[in-house]
Structure 1
Amino acid sequence: MTRHKWRPLDFWMLGLTAFWFFWTGLVAQPAQFIHDFDQAIALPLHHSPQWFQQLMVGYTQLGNPHNLTIITLVLGLGLLMLKQPRATIFLWINTWIFGGYGNYFVKQIIQRPRPTAWRLVQIGGYSYPSGHSTSTTLLIGSLIVIAWDLWPNRYRLKRWLLGIGASLVGLMMVSRIIVGVHYPSDTVGGLILGCCLLYLSVRLTTGRRTGPLNYQSTHQNSSKE
């Protein structure tokens, strides 16, 4: 059995988790700082160019549960074709279980109403945290982690993937604000929640994210390296 020793990054992630609880508490109060933060970011985005708003309306649909399920299913099947069933399970659990139920659980506790002053799309449910931000962070983050495992020496490619992935997550956060279904603080909360859940998943699956499901085959391959 793999022993999970403490790493320096673990302490940083504990700090990020503590900050998420602090941020969530400010949202739940609600604090004046959160109101000012939301206004300062949302108002300029709501006055962004029309073409950009329409682009974000289309982009935000990719994060809807139905579309995200199809995207994740296709990506998982692609990993299966590459003989990476462990990576497929890692991706599906993070996106469907952690991303779906983790976010839903927090929403039911905080029960923050969605903004109503500006709407380009219609949606129900609670506002905090942004489910699109959480799920996109877990989806993109899981793919980057898998790429890190499969291509350990391709540093330039991994830097490009990290940059593109961060941009896709950032655009999803912006899109949720522009279409008027989330406050900026919702998207920040969703991003941090997704990062914390992803890191927890990564630490729990160290050494067991790639390769066949057969333990002996995986152990033999790792022994030869």
Structure 2
Amino acid sequence: MVNKRWRTQDTLMSGLLILWFGWTIAVAQSATMISRFDQAIAIPLHHSSQWFQQLMTSYTQLGNPHMITIITLVVGVILLLLRQPRATLFFWINVWVLGGYGNYFIKQLIQRPRPTAWRLVQIGGYSYPSGHSTTTTLLIGSLLVIAWDLLKKSTLKRSLLGLGILMILLMMVSRIIVGVHYPSDTLGGLMLGSYLLYLSTRLTTGHRTGPIRLKSRS
């Protein structure tokens, strides 16, 4: 049963990877479909309520590199204090290595300029994919995976899942509202982060919790 479930999930995530590749190619080629998608979502968000824009301007700062570094370090230390060094490594590698370097590599490859028509904050660099979306997906997603491993109450797990999804979606929305990303950037970041999270989760099954035991030489 477990193997069958994994095969089904592998197929679904392989489909997501193919979809992400197609989406990325369309973005790189400035396809008309991408432009229409971006306008349909960005324009209503740029005309949203003032209080919501102010809220998102503050919220988006939680995804800035220095804040992500602090959050990731603090959460990792807490996991270490809970005697979960494997979970700490899983969390740190996902956020700092996969999230940071994976997103940076794709940005340098695509080199999509950031939008300039609307700006509430200033930032440099390239636009696709959204680093905030990718990293937040990996950060929150990794915590959800660890919670699934350690927690027993299914109701608590479902509540955390709902909260996590909401936080990721709000980060995506915030990047559009402050004008530093196109909607297609944030969706690309979500897909990239989701696949990288699944890949790391798949490869570490059965090895994400508990102490690190070094094999002794006989």
TM range (shorter): over 0.9
Pair 1:21-2:21 in alignment: yes
For residues 165 and 6 of structure 2, what CA distance do their matches in structure 1 show? 26
What does residue 33 of structure 1 align with? 33
**Alignment deviations for residues 140-167 of structure 1 (CA, whole Å, 9 cap, x no partner):** 000000000012x311011001000000
Pairs within 5 Å for 1:181-196: 181-196=180-195
Pair 1:88-2:92 in alignment: no
**Alignment deviations for residues 42-62 of structure 1 (CA, whole Å, 9 cap, x no partner):** 000000011110110100000
For residues 8 and 37 of structure 1, what CA distance do their matches in structure 2 show? 30
What does residue 220 of structure 1 align with? none
For residues 208 and 153 of structure 2, what CA distance do their matches in structure 1 show? 18
Gaps of 5+ in 1: 217-225
Q: Tell me the amino acid that sits aligned with residue 162 of structure 1.
A: L
What does residue 144 of structure 1 align with? 144
Q: Tell me the amino acid that sits aligned with residue 21 of structure 1.
A: F
Pairs within 5 Å for 1:5-154: 7-151=7-151, 153-154=152-153
Q: TM-score, normalised by structure 1?
A: 0.92
What does residue 212 of structure 2 align with? 213
Secondary structure of the residue aligned to 1:7 is helix
The structural deviation recorded for 1:215 is: 5.3
The structural deviation recorded for 1:214 is: 1.1
Aligned length: 212
Distance 1:54 1:147, change over 3 A: same
For residues 79 and 189 of structure 2, what CA distance do their matches in structure 1 show? 26
For residues 48 and 30 of structure 2, what CA distance do their matches in structure 1 show? 27
Q: Kindly, what percent of the aligned residue pairs are identical? A: 72
Runs of 4+ in 1 over 3 A off after TM superposition: none
Q: Tell me the amino acid that sits aligned with residue 64 of structure 2.
A: N
What does residue 219 of structure 1 align with? none
What does residue 177 of structure 1 align with? 176
CA RMSD, 1 decimal: 1.3
Pair 1:158-2:152 in alignment: no
For residues 150 and 121 of structure 1, what CA distance do their matches in structure 2 show? 39
Secondary structure of the residue aligned to 1:56 is helix
**Alignment deviations for residues 83-108 of structure 1 (CA, whole Å, 9 cap, x no partner):** 00000010000000000000000000
The structural deviation recorded for 1:9 is: 0.4
The structural deviation recorded for 1:170 is: 0.2
For residues 142 and 84 of structure 2, what CA distance do their matches in structure 1 show? 13
**Alignment deviations for residues 3-26 of structure 1 (CA, whole Å, 9 cap, x no partner):** 9x9521000000000000000011
Q: TM-score, normalised by structure 2?
A: 0.95
For residues 9 and 90 of structure 1, what CA distance do their matches in structure 2 show? 20
For residues 194 and 6 of structure 1, what CA distance do their matches in structure 2 show? 19
Q: Tell me the amino acid that sits aligned with residue 209 of structure 2.
A: T
